[in-house]
Amino acid sequence: MSIWIGKDTRLVVQGITGRDGSFHTRQTMEAGTNVVAGVTPGKGGQLFDGKVPVFNTVAEAVQATGANCSVIYVPPAAAAGAMQEASDGGIPLVVCVTEGVPVLDMTTVMPYLAERGTRLIGPNCPGLITPGEAKVGIIPASICKPGRVGLVSRSGTLTYEVVHHLTASGFGQSTCVGIGGDPIVGTNFIDVLRAFQDDPKTEAIVMIGEIGGTAEQEAAEFVLSYLRKPVVGFVAGQTAPKGRRMGHAGAIISGSSGTADEKFAAFESAGIGIMRRPVDVVELLKARLK
């Protein structure tokens, strides 16, 4: 068990013939994921690497292969359209890895997806992985192992750093979810926390936040009211200067909400174990998981 992806995942890759799409599709297949189709307009009828059928549209891919999850590697200007196409094609879970999607595009994509009941993860995210079962996105399978810790993060490589410590110390993962660092993302901390609470396989949760916005504070309130499983957390950007964009569009301190100190304080008052360093995750979990 795990959340959202697993053995039943039938993945369609939008942008499968592009540079990033083809590279990550191969890694995804090596990790054991069932990649059933690819989509590149104009290249319908081809076979990717001699085995994955390529279609012109998501709707065709769904009809022919029963795909139930999509991952998007198209360029930023085409990403909004790709998300809407996947949703219209009946895909219930869409993961957008593409970085640099104009944020105004997301203001119209979100209601479009909501009307069709589609869950979006990202954009600008590393995706998710259920170790040993399925990987959708770019989290390296080699650093993960199956287990009982659920992880949710706004970052990419910082997630890998924490997963690396977990795996090295014997804590496997149920599912790791990278929700992305943009100001508007489809799935937030609370969505993932609720899914982990409801997942019998997940026994403890690690939450990795960043400066900017108030998503971590809202997540902390939710932990207090809803979660019955131990949670530990980290916030990156304690030393970031005010008002500067640090790579992720989301990591901007605006007004009084969004500093690392405020977020850590919210974690503390919700009983979340405080990671001052990524490596602290190990001792905190040892104390909480007997």
Partner 1 sequence: MNLHEYQARALLKAAGVPVPDGDVAATPSEAEAIARRVGGTVVVKAQVHAGGRGKAGGVKLARGPAEARECASQILGMTIKGLVVNKVLVVPAADIATESYVGLILDRKTQKPVFMVSDAGGIDIEEVAAKTPEKITRLPIDPRYGLLPHQALQLALALYKDWSQAKAAMQILRQLYGVFMANGCTLAEINPLVTTPEGKVLALDAKMTIDDNELDRRPDLAVLRDESSEEQSEVTARRANLTFIKLDGNVGCVVNGAGLAMATMDLVKYYGGEPANFLDIGGSSNPEKVVSALKIITADPNVKVILFNIFGGITRTDDVANGIVAATKQFKVDVPIVIRLTGTNEQEAFRILESVGMTAMNDMDAAVSKAVKLAGEAA
Residues forming contacts to partner 1 in the complex (CB under 8 A) are 23-24, 76-77, 99-104, 106-108, 110-111, 126, 138-140, 143, 153-161, 164, 181, 183-184, 208, 210-211, 213-215, 234, 236-241, 244-251, 255-256, 260, 276-279
- Distance of alpha carbon 239 from alpha carbon 108, whole angstroms: 34
- Distance of alpha carbon 179 from alpha carbon 230, whole angstroms: 20
Q: At what angle do helices 58-65 and 76-88 cross, to 10 degrees?
A: 40
Contact 175, 4 (CB under 8 A): yes
Residues annotated as part of the active site: 248
Strands 127-130 and 134-137: antiparallel
Strands 47-48 and 52-55: antiparallel
Least Å distance, CB 44 to partner 1, is: 26
Least Å distance, CB 77 to partner 1, is: 5
Place of tokens 């949710």: 152
Least Å distance, CB 25 to partner 1, is: 13
Least Å distance, CB 103 to partner 1, is: 5
Instruction: Work out the burial of residue 218: count CB atoms within 10 Å of its CB; fewer than 13 is exposed, 13-18 middle, 19 or more buried.
Output: middle
Instruction: Work out the burial of residue 243: count CB atoms within 10 Å of its CB; fewer than 13 is exposed, 13-18 middle, 19 or more buried.
Output: exposed
Least Å distance, CB 98 to partner 1, is: 10
| Nearest residue (CB) to partner 1, 53 versus 212 | 212
- Distance of alpha carbon 117 from alpha carbon 137, whole angstroms: 21
- The alpha-carbon radius of gyration of the chain (Å, integer) is 18
Contact 237, 209 (CB under 8 A): no
| Nearest residue (CB) to partner 1, 61 versus 235 | 235
| Nearest residue (CB) to partner 1, 3 versus 97 | 97
| Nearest residue (CB) to partner 1, 147 versus 250 | 250
| Nearest residue (CB) to partner 1, 17 versus 188 | 188
